[in-house]
């Protein structure tokens, strides 16, 4: 009999893709998901391709990880939990603090409370952390001769167009290097803090009750199926929707800020290895490509793939809590999991754009999201 796996947040972007791949491998999959309107729309059966991709294929429970009854029902007979359910988005987390903490930390605490105090068949918990827990990435100071970890950038300096990170005692520019799992953890957003605590709780409690634990720090995940209507997460979706609607794109800062964009298939592959590889127990893994790509390159590549030009405004605007750079060192995932990303940015973005071209153009709600942040004094 196939192993039974619960995927919380399994109707989301990563979760639904994971659920489908697990089904193909012969697993019995249970999905617990609240079908948040921000991700799935007001009528998921009509507006959510993610939900429809798993509907009728998995045992689906519409419910919340903040409900003891929903979690208890979902855990029946389950041997492995992949805990992906979370509120996502760094910007929104800065003013919807209770919502993020309640779902991300509270939901994880409730899951672990049930595992600690009930008889279940769960043998391993896999949890999604995030690259956001690192805050700024890891840098090397030639001046100091060591790695350094800059903290949140100064808003006054950024308002004057100085967006580069600084480190006390360094007058020379810092050199960006890959962020390793043992790098300093110092999140610069509420979202980042909640993801840090999720990972810490899972490893701590699971070890104490004899359940195996694995956590993943995903970089910027993208690919076909991601929400094009959620204006709070994912610049690929945000920029795509702007371009498709013929609207100009506001490039924050100077456009040279970078992220590590990792294709959904690679994320699913790494996660399944975290479920299956015995030696993964107790470990934290970065999941990315190990390659930084700047925002201006992203915008120009998207316009090229869509064959449609819109105006790019390099505005100097910035969001409080945003980082300048971060890309993953994935050596540990290679060594222990045998993980190797198969998709580079050029091929992945081409596949993503072909999918977007097949979709109905979404209403653009980006300005509304910026207004919310500006009203909260988080957008400059």
Instruction: Find the catalytic residue in 51, 191, 218, 366.
Output: 191
Active site residue 191: yes
User: Which residue has tokens 């956001």?
Assistant: 132
- With the C-alpha atoms ordered 245, 250, 256, 259, is the resulting torsion angle positive or negative? negative
Q: Which residues contact 354 (CB under 8 A, 6 or more apart)?
A: 224
Nearest to 283 by CA among 195, 206, 192: 206
Residues 288/260, Cβ–Cβ less than 8 Å: yes
3-state secondary structure of 285: strand
What are the strands of the beta sheet with 138-141, ordered from one edge? 146-148, 138-141, 175-177
User: Which residue has tokens 């299956």?
Assistant: 276
**Torsions phi, psi for 235 (to 5 deg):** -65, -25
3-state secondary structure of 272: helix
For the chain, state the CA radius of gyration.
20
Residues 284/91, Cβ–Cβ less than 8 Å: no
Rounded Cα distance between 361 and 243, Å, is 10
Rounded Cα distance between 137 and 149, Å, is 7
Residues with a catalytic annotation lie at 191
């Amino acid at each position: 009999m196939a192993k039974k796996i619960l995927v919380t947040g399994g109707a989301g972007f990563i979760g639904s893709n994971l659920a489908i791949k697990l089904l193909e491998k012969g697993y019995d999959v249970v999905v617990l998901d609240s079908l948040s309107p921000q991700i799935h729309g007001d009528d998921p059966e009509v507006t959510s391709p993610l939900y429809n991709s798993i509907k009728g294929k998995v045992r689906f429970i519409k419910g919340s990880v903040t409900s003891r009854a929903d979690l208890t029902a979902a855990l029946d007979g389950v041997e492995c939990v992949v805990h992906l359910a979370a509120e996502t988005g760094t910007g929104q987390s800065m003013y919807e603090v209770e919502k993020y903490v309640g779902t991300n930390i509270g939901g994880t605490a409730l899951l672990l409370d049930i595992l600690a105090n009930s008889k279940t068949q769960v043998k391993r918990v896999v949890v999604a952390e995030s690259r956001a827990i690192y805050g700024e990435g890891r840098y090397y100071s030639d001046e100091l001769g060591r790695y350094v970890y800059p903290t949140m950038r100064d808003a006054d300096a950024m308002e004057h167009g100085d967006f580069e990170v600084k480190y006390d005692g360094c007058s020379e520019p810092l050199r960006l290097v890959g962020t390793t799992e043992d790098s300093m953890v110092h999140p610069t957003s509420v979202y980042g803090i909640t993801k840090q605590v999720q990972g810490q709780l899972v490893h701590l409690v699971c070890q104490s009750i004899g359940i195996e634990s694995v956590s993943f720090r995903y970089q910027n995940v993208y690919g076909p199926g991601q929400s094009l209507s959620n204006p709070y997460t994912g610049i690929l979706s945000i920029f795509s929707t702007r371009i498709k609607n013929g609207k100009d794109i506001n490039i924050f800062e100077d456009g040279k800020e970078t992220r590590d964009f990792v294709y959904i298939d690679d994320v699913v592959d790494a996660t399944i290895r975290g479920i299956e590889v015995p030696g993964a127990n107790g470990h934290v893994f970065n999941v990315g490509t190990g390659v930084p790509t700047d925002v201006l390159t992203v915008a120009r590549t998207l316009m090229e793939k869509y064959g449609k030009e819109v105006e790019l405004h390099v505005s100097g605007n910035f969001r409080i809590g945003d980082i300048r750079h971060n890309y993953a060192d994935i050596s540990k995932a290679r060594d222990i999991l045998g993980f190797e990303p198969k998709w580079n940015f050029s091929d992945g973005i081409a596949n993503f754009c072909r999918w977007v071209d097949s979709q109905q153009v979404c209403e653009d709600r980006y300005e509304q999201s910026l207004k919310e942040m500006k009203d909260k004094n988080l957008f400059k």
